[in-house]
Chains A and B, each alone.
Chain A
């Protein structure tokens, strides 16, 4: 189907089903139960899952295939967001031109940055990309927001004001929309104690994720993808055969830059504000972590990694002592206090600690990332299948080769 082999089609269908049914899957607990704290099926977080999924898929095309570790990809995310918000400010709140421009501008920047950075390899390449991203961040945060030439609106973040021209707005809505359909429009389905949110913005992002995912599968399976893998396994040998690898790596860099721009554009489309922190090295580091955590070089790993990190950031940080008390309220007092003392450092303001421990646990026990964890579990269920791993397995096994 769609030019994919059977296994890839299965993966694509699984991803499609998962994203389309996400509002159900992510809200497994009734709203009033104490476990509702772990529900992630509200529009904002679902949007973030898929948007950062797109970001990580794109990053994986560069890092997973070629092995070039970019430490500055957040710059493209930020650039995408800024372009999108500028489109809102100048044209209208329709997201289509905004997303289109964010891809184009991020693409242009990635051509320039990629052209320069790809002259070096290994850690030298990483530091070059990091330097470009940090410069973008520092300038966007301060100098580029001076009153005379306010491109980024600095710390506050670029946003749309009533006084902006919005030449094409006409009578269109005052919030981001796609041809009149508002991004934030949400239909809530109540079933017994459960409640499920179906949000327009989320489904737009989910569709784009599917398209992005499909493209990435095609790239992985194409001769071009093969060429990129060759770069990863031994660039020198490739060069000796008379092939110039630079155009291939540059193409991969630009494609992944455009993915990042797309993700940035979508972030702005869901919430029309672009902050400079999106470009900071911590944001670049985050996508690296997402990809490695999920399983670099695998198709679905980066999406899992993105979901994992965003889940911790948004769910664990909200568990405060008050919530803990309601959880353990049924226990005797001494027991309750004891459990709270134990759990307390790991949740709420300690969510970073849990995240750090998870990073270490995953990389120590699952060298292939979360995807490998999934495979291990899968193998437990069907022992005989162990000798015939799917395409995910192949990819994961290829990964450890540097």
Chain B
């Protein structure tokens, strides 16, 4: 029982990352009809926003007096952090500790900006082009983005810890009346889960309850008619692209304490997020979220020892097996609409 609870927790947490990325991807599919292979790169860029902010906070200058010798025997000068100079030791220290959550403030405008530039500068010209061309150009862009990051940050993962108070884990078991240590869960992962629910809820509410959202939904259903009504649907879609980029970026920012980011993480998530979107059904936002959580939970269950001993290697292929099973029984994924990306 406790093992099952635990894997559900795990799955929800894994699923929240999948769901967030897939949500952004399906927004772009649904609104612009573009196959965006650079979406994983946006996730990665978000993570590197956090890295950059924490690097900026860690900028330092040399102390005026040497305080020892370095590994080559030359005099060494202690580093003094600018943030501590400017904000004092207490506030500066707090900013360092909270650099990941603080990055969100910076990441939102940055990612919306990147999304905007990307759509206006590149994607716009590819609406009428075949999907194959969209794949080629966005894949090229993804490579370029990740190589640029690699050039500046190297290929090694960069540790970006969560704030002190969220490190460590919470003993669910004890709270629910099981033995101690049976169900423990890291605080930061719970934060991530809640955060993803907030973002998903926010995006849904935005589309559901604002006029802007209503127009966008109408545009998703029938772009031409909305255009004929004299509404500048293109401009709204550009903004949606920016929002999708921001969702991917925020997923990346908050993911950094879970796994140290590296330049390649976007590609690692790319294939998976496509599977999630398609299993959820093309053009369906709830489908993407549902599929994200579903695949996350199933993946967690497949990695249980009991199941692995029955079917060795099942944890390596479960996602793909489930994808095949679902697509064969439900032709358009869980909640897909007819005619989207079927040609």
Report the bound CA distance from A193 to B303 in whole Å.
61
Assess whether A288 is in contact with B135, with CB atoms less than 8 Å apart: yes
Report the bound CA distance from A363 to B343 in whole Å.
21
Q: A132-B320, A296-B132, A399-B130 are in contact. Are A138 and B313 (CB under 8 A)?
A: yes
Tell me whether B316 is interfacial, beta carbon within 8 Å: yes
Tell me whether B131 is interfacial, beta carbon within 8 Å: yes
Report the bound CA distance from A358 to B275 in whole Å.
27
Assess whether A116 is in contact with B324, with CB atoms less than 8 Å apart: yes
Assess whether A400 is in contact with B144, with CB atoms less than 8 Å apart: no
Contacts A121-B343, A127-B275, A128-B323 known; list 17 others, CB within 8 Å. Answer: A120-B327, A120-B331, A122-B342, A124-B331, A130-B275, A138-B317, A139-B316, A142-B316, A292-B135, A355-B140, A356-B142, A356-B144, A359-B136, A359-B139, A359-B143, A360-B141, A363-B133
When each residue 134-154 of chain B gets 1 if its CB lies under 8 Å from chain A and 0 otherwise, what string results?
A: 011101111110111001000
- Complex partner residue of A281 from B131, B271, B279, B319, CB under 8 angstroms: B271
Assess whether B136 is in contact with A289, with CB atoms less than 8 Å apart: yes
The interface stretch among A41-49, A239-247, A345-353 is: A345-353
Closest 10 CB pairs of A and B: A359-B140, A356-B143, A143-B313, A131-B320, A353-B147, A122-B342, A138-B316, A360-B140, A356-B144, A127-B278
Q: Closest CB-CB distance, A298 to chain B, in whole Å?
A: 13
Interface residues of A in 359-397 (CB under 8 A from B): 359-360, 362-364, 367
Assess whether A357 is in contact with B144, with CB atoms less than 8 Å apart: yes
Assess whether A356 is in contact with B141, with CB atoms less than 8 Å apart: yes
Tell me whether B341 is interfacial, beta carbon within 8 Å: yes
List residues of chain B with CB within 8 A of the CB of A296. Answer: 132
Interface of B: prevailing SS: helix
List residues of chain A with CB within 8 A of the CB of B319. Answer: 131
Assess whether B324 is in contact with A142, with CB atoms less than 8 Å apart: no
Tell me whether A83 is interfacial, beta carbon within 8 Å: no
Tell me whether B189 is interfacial, beta carbon within 8 Å: no
Q: Closest CB-CB distance, B224 to chain A, in whole Å?
A: 17
Q: A345-B151, A363-B136, A367-B133 are in contact. Are A135 and B317 (CB under 8 A)?
A: yes
Assess whether B328 is in contact with A289, with CB atoms less than 8 Å apart: no
Tell me whether A112 is interfacial, beta carbon within 8 Å: no
List residues of chain A with CB within 8 A of the CB of B320. Answer: 130-132, 134-135
Report the bound CA distance from A282 to B342 in whole Å.
23
Q: A138-B313, A359-B137, A402-B131 are in contact. Are A353 and B275 (CB under 8 A)?
A: no
Assess whether B148 is in contact with A119, with CB atoms less than 8 Å apart: no
Report the bound CA distance from A292 to B135 in whole Å.
9
List residues of chain A with CB within 8 A of the CB of B151. Answer: 345, 350, 353
- Contact-size category for B: 35 or more
Interface residues of B in 247-297 (CB under 8 A from A): 267, 271, 274-275, 278-279, 282
List residues of chain B with CB within 8 A of the CB of A119. Answer: 328, 331
Tell me whether A173 is interfacial, beta carbon within 8 Å: no
Q: Closest CB-CB distance, A278 to chain B, in whole Å?
A: 17
List residues of chain A with CB within 8 A of the CB of B141. Answer: 356, 360
List residues of chain A with CB within 8 A of the CB of B90. Answer: none
Chosen A-B contacts, 29 in total, with CB atoms closer than 8 Å, are A69-B132, A116-B328, A121-B342, A122-B342, A123-B341, A124-B341, A127-B278, A127-B279, A130-B320, A131-B275, A131-B321, A132-B324, A134-B271, A138-B316, A139-B313, A139-B317, A143-B312, A285-B139, A292-B136, A296-B132, A350-B147, A353-B151, A359-B137, A360-B141, A360-B144, A363-B137, A364-B137, A399-B130, A402-B131
Residue of B132, B316, B323 with most partner-chain A CB within 10 A: B132
Which residues on A are within 8 Å of B, measured CB to CB? 63, 67, 69, 116, 119-124, 127-128, 130-132, 134-135, 138-139, 142-143, 146, 281-282, 285, 288-289, 292-293, 296, 345, 350, 352-353, 355-360, 362-364, 367, 399-400, 402
- Complex partner residue of B343 from A131, A138, A142, A402, CB under 8 angstroms: A402
- Complex partner residue of A122 from B130, B146, B343, CB under 8 angstroms: B343
Report the bound CA distance from A350 to B328 in whole Å.
42
List residues of chain B with CB within 8 A of the CB of A69. Answer: 131-132
Assess whether A124 is in contact with B333, with CB atoms less than 8 Å apart: yes
Assess whether A124 is in contact with B313, with CB atoms less than 8 Å apart: no
List residues of chain A with CB within 8 A of the CB of B129. Answer: 367, 400
Tell me whether B49 is interfacial, beta carbon within 8 Å: no
Q: Closest CB-CB distance, A339 to chain B, in whole Å?
A: 18
Q: Closest CB-CB distance, A355 to chain B, in whole Å?
A: 6
Q: Closest CB-CB distance, B286 to chain A, in whole Å?
A: 18
Report the bound CA distance from A25 to B294 in whole Å.
55
List residues of chain A with CB within 8 A of the CB of B341. Answer: 122-124
Report the bound CA distance from A373 to B48 in whole Å.
37
